Amino acid sequence: MNLGVSLFIALRYWRAKSADRFGRLVTNLASAGIVLGVMALIIVLSVMSGLENHQKQQVLSAIPHAIVMKQEGNFNLDTYKKELPTLSHFADIHAITPINTTNAIYQTAQGVSAGQVIGVQHPSDDPLLEYLDQTQLNNLLPVGEFKLIIGSQLAEKLNIQIGDKVRLMLTEESQYTPFGRVPVQRLFTVSDIYFAPSEASSYETFANLADIGRLMRIQPSEVQGVRLFLSDPFLITELPKIFTPTNYKIEDWRAQKGEYFQAVRMEKNMMGLLISLIIIVAVSNIITSLSLMVVDKQGEIAILQTQGLTKTQVRWIFILQGFLVGAVGAIIGALLGVLITLNLNSIIGWFNPAGLFLPTDISATQVLVIIGFSLLLSLLSTLYPAYRASKVEPAEALRYE
């Protein structure tokens, strides 16, 4: 199909200053609306993605991404890696460490708090302990002395210092006594306080791996499970393909933070949907402007048909013209959106000298999808006016000319 004539006429109509000023205004409003919609959509989704990634790094880096346990029994401390399935084809697991962990209640004379205690052997077992070397950790958490490293926020909440006693009550473990079933508990001595910018320091504590295992009635030569560190915490959905449910059970970060990230993802989707309405409203103006042009250009359409222009070519004139309006708006909006997103914190600094920081994450795929979505809506909006233009009959249109 030869579209050269249709494209030439569409460009002439698009660049010409129509005598119908109202129709021209509607066309300009359509382009401006698409520009604003695409620009706002790119900025908002980039900010939401940046916040999601920032929270993923700040929150999820401080808690176990996944803990794999056997359905029956425990892992051997010396040979636990050999008991796992082959992980060579899953390169996103960059570290595996043994772990004994359980939920606990921290009780002191000043108060009570809930949290999670993790048994460790090496500073590399948890990112929050990377400020220590192996010798320091051995001195702070010697085997059998029931020492505890707690977070600064928890220490402030319980009003305790290094050397104070904390009673740990394991809510998931219990023992029978003459007074009934009571949680396993033990006095621990605070040997150090760690500082972390995340909220993990308000509930997460560390003890020696063997000491926690002893309270959980696990043999010294065994561990409850293995802790997996993933390059992307959101890849935990792939773990059931490796660790079959018949042999292993998996506990991951979703048990603690799943609802939070689900709410962030839902908010991102809702914001994208609401801002997309701007583009939809702007695209509806293309229908109006093209419909007005069809009425205004009936005589010209009839003359072109008498000179040999087919109805298909007439349809393509208005399809291409509407598509040009959408394409120009989408491209300008995308360029402005990317430019503003890259300089967003500098722009915010003009209005807020206090230094508000908004993390952003521009995805090329996301930008292309937004542009493609806008172009698709622009193309669809041209179909009805183009169909009406092709129905113009030369004899009827030129009867009174």
Mean pLDDT across 330-351: 86
Do 240 and 100 belong together in one domain?
yes
Rounded to the nearest 10°, the torsion over CA 218, 223, 104, 254 is -140
Element (H, E) at 95: strand 93-107
Do 229 and 269 belong together in one domain?
no
Domain boundary among 192, 227, 252: 252
Nearest to 74 by CA among 209, 176, 256, 230: 209
Mean pLDDT across 255-269: 79
CA end-to-end distance (rounded Å), the chain: 32
Q: Is the pLDDT assigned to residue 293 strictly greater than 80?
A: no
In three-state secondary structure terms, 40 is helix
d(CA 64, CA 227): 7
More confident residue, 313 or 74: 74
More confident residue, 153 or 345: 153
Do 98 and 122 belong together in one domain?
yes
d(CA 188, CA 146): 5
**pLDDT computed for residue 176 by the predictor:** 58
How far is CA 114 from each of CA 6, 60, 94, 120, 157, rounded to the nearest angstrom?
72, 19, 30, 19, 11
Domain boundary among 202, 225, 252: 252
Using the structure block, give the residue that is written with the tokens 């109805």.
311
**pLDDT computed for residue 88 by the predictor:** 65
Task: Quote the domain boundaries for residue 246.
Answer: 64-252
Which pairing describes strands 180-194 and 165-177: parallel, antiparallel, or unpaired? Answer: antiparallel
At 70, the pLDDT band (50, 70, 90 cuts) reads confident
Burial of 94 (0-12, 13-18, 19+ CB in 10 A): exposed
Do 311 and 178 belong together in one domain?
no
Mean pLDDT across 262-290: 82
Most confident of 34-43, 266-275, 351-360: 34-43
**pLDDT computed for residue 178 by the predictor:** 58
**pLDDT computed for residue 400 by the predictor:** 54
Q: Is the pLDDT assigned to residue 394 strictly greater than 70?
A: no
**pLDDT computed for residue 89 by the predictor:** 66
The percentage of the chain sitting over the pLDDT mark of 70, rounded to a whole number, equals 87
* Token pair belonging to 351: 């209005």
Do 283 and 393 belong together in one domain?
yes
CB atoms within 10 A of CB 368: 11
Do 86 and 217 belong together in one domain?
yes
Do 129 and 245 belong together in one domain?
yes
**pLDDT computed for residue 18 by the predictor:** 53
**pLDDT computed for residue 368 by the predictor:** 92
| Axis-axis angle for helices 311-342, 21-60 (nearest 10) | 40
d(CA 117, CA 170): 9
Longest Cα pair distance anywhere in the chain, in angstroms? 108
Mean pLDDT across 67-96: 81
Q: Is the pLDDT assigned to residue 6 strictly greater than 90?
A: no
At 268, the pLDDT band (50, 70, 90 cuts) reads confident
**pLDDT computed for residue 207 by the predictor:** 92
Identify the weakest region by mean pLDDT among 94-103, 298-307, 310-319. 298-307
For residues 337 and 42, the answer to whether their CB atoms sit within 8 Å is yes
Beta bridge partners of 76: 222
Do 277 and 240 belong together in one domain?
no
Do 79 and 122 belong together in one domain?
yes
Q: What is the DSSP letter of 145?
A: S
Do 27 and 126 belong together in one domain?
no
* Token pair belonging to 340: 């503003």
What residues have CB less than 8 Å from 59, skipping those under 6 apart? 198, 199, 200, 257, 260
At 291, the pLDDT band (50, 70, 90 cuts) reads confident
Q: Is the pLDDT assigned to residue 180 strictly greater than 60?
A: no
In angstroms and rounded to an integer, the radius of gyration of the C-alpha atoms of the chain is 33
At 22, the pLDDT band (50, 70, 90 cuts) reads low
d(CA 337, CA 329): 12
d(CA 18, CA 70): 75
φ, ψ dihedrals at 330, nearest 5°: -65, -40
**pLDDT computed for residue 397 by the predictor:** 55
Domain boundary among 252, 278, 306: 252
Digit-coded pLDDT (tens) for 124-134? 888 888 888 88
Q: Is the pLDDT assigned to residue 16 strictly greater than 90?
A: no
Do 309 and 355 belong together in one domain?
yes
Nearest to 191 by CA among 123, 128, 141, 154: 141
Digit-coded pLDDT (tens) for 212-233? 988 888 888 889 988 888 888 8
Give me the chain's average pLDDT, please. 81
Burial of 9 (0-12, 13-18, 19+ CB in 10 A): buried
Amino acid of residue 303: I
**pLDDT computed for residue 241 by the predictor:** 82
Do 122 and 75 belong together in one domain?
yes
d(CA 202, CA 210): 24
At 327, the pLDDT band (50, 70, 90 cuts) reads confident
Structural domains in the chain (count):
2
Mean pLDDT across 353-381: 84
Q: Is the pLDDT assigned to residue 198 strictly greater than 60?
A: yes
How far is CA 36 from each of CA 290, 337, 358, 376, 384, rounded to the nearest angstrom?
21, 9, 21, 17, 25
**pLDDT computed for residue 354 by the predictor:** 64
Nearest to 237 by CA among 88, 363, 90: 90
